[in-house]
Structure 1
């Protein structure tokens, strides 16, 4: 029985939805990662970027309407968190900035006066490596602290984790079913409107054709072309 539990916990641990990503960010560009998140969910993330002299990276988290939820400039390694107020598409953007290099050149003109010319040269820079790990909802809970506070055994803590995970999956499926019903209702309403518009268009065409035939008939009779 214990072996069955251990195998089950191992499988669940392997499929535990911890989201991590690593990519290279080209200088003076930005890369955004988007995800649909339910309402009232805590989102936590941990990032780390390679440090290169003369290059900086900023990050910003916002919703689909552009509301800023979290941001920081000149990042190297750290964490962030925010809570989603409504079901929406949220994005986390990493922005690379390579400031232009200031150059000064001194030259002598014909009147023997020293002149100084200052100009800026764009630097090409080097791609930086960015790693990001995010957690949301039940993933953000610290079950070690819960176990210590409630004096639970490790097996009981694992069962609590599985219970919360199953509840989260059930809620996700319920939300997916609700959205599917809403989309189906919208699709049915759209089909009904298209059908009504098609019938209305056909009636208009038939009415116009009938009117045109009657008009031409009267016209030809008036010209005595037909009896």
Structure 2
């Protein structure tokens, strides 16, 4: 019974901890004449990760909001929407480990004068990885309880985190090998440098000795 209570408490803590995998942002985007005012939200996302999100663009006259989603440095184009209005939904799977850019541009129509009120309200929400999983079909077929749904989602989150930890472990081992190799090269370089210095010193002593002997100074 004690173990069951401890497990339930742990799962609740995990749910709270990994709720940060869902990112939400709200802001006002000022309008400007072409090329407009651009604002980007950047998030690092791993390879082959599902990304699901939605954007809500507020009402405003004589303004056009363009949305583009891409990554760097690979420059994969994931989603593009010109003249977005109202609620927009998107979903894609990443191709590389990279920083994904969610960029919003607000352009004011020509002939209109920009001012403090020429802006649009943007609401942006994105889920990645296990948080983006759609379990509705599984819920319908297996008639899962809400607790079971959360357990499935948490299981997927833990699996994803474990995979990320394995990747980090592999990178750490690689960096350690590189570090050890570099240290070994530096050690042998220092030994070689010391050998050159000692050899140069011995040669100078012998040269000076012969020079003084030739001059009959010693």
Same fold (TM over 0.5): yes
Q: Indicate the larger mover: 180-189 or 40-49.
A: 180-189
Is the 1:25–1:130 Cα contact (8 Å) retained in structure 2? yes
> Partners of 2:15 and 2:64 in 1: how far apart?
36
User: Which of the numbers 77, 81, 97 marks the counterpart of 1:68?
Assistant: 77
Is the 1:100–1:123 Cα contact (8 Å) retained in structure 2? no
Q: 1:119-171 CA distances to partner (integer Å, 9 max, x unpaired)?
A: xxx84674543332111111111223211122334443333223222222222
User: Which of the numbers 84, 105, 111 marks the counterpart of 1:95?
Assistant: 105
Asked whether 1:184 is paired with 2:176, we answer yes
> Partners of 1:150 and 1:14 in 2: how far apart?
26
**Match of residue 136 from structure 1:** 128
Larger radius of gyration, structure 1 or 2? 1
Is the 1:34–1:89 Cα contact (8 Å) retained in structure 2? yes
**Match of residue 16 from structure 2:** 14
- DSSP-derived class of the 1:45 partner: strand
CA deviation after TM superposition for structure 1 residue 100, in Å: 4.4
Is the 1:22–1:129 Cα contact (8 Å) retained in structure 2? yes
Q: How does 1:112-191 map to 2 (within 5 A)?
A: 123=114, 126-191=118-183
**Match of residue 52 from structure 1:** 60
> Partners of 2:216 and 2:104 in 1: how far apart?
80
Asked whether 1:43 is paired with 2:46, we answer no
RMSD (Å), alpha carbons: 3.2
Structure 2: state its 5+ residue gaps.
Answer: none
Relative to structure 1, the CA distance from residue 152 to residue 30 in structure 2 (aligned partners, 3 Å threshold; closer, same or farther) is: same
Is the 2:74–2:98 Cα contact (8 Å) retained in structure 1? no
- DSSP-derived class of the 1:101 partner: coil
Relative to structure 1, the CA distance from residue 124 to residue 147 in structure 2 (aligned partners, 3 Å threshold; closer, same or farther) is: same
> Partners of 1:210 and 1:24 in 2: how far apart?
75
Relative to structure 1, the CA distance from residue 101 to residue 219 in structure 2 (aligned partners, 3 Å threshold; closer, same or farther) is: farther
CA deviation after TM superposition for structure 1 residue 78, in Å: 0.7
> Partners of 1:191 and 1:9 in 2: how far apart?
44
Structure 1: state its 5+ residue gaps.
Answer: 103-121
TM-score when normalising by structure 1: 0.72
- DSSP-derived class of the 1:70 partner: strand
Relative to structure 1, the CA distance from residue 153 to residue 182 in structure 2 (aligned partners, 3 Å threshold; closer, same or farther) is: same
> Partners of 2:88 and 2:44 in 1: how far apart?
23
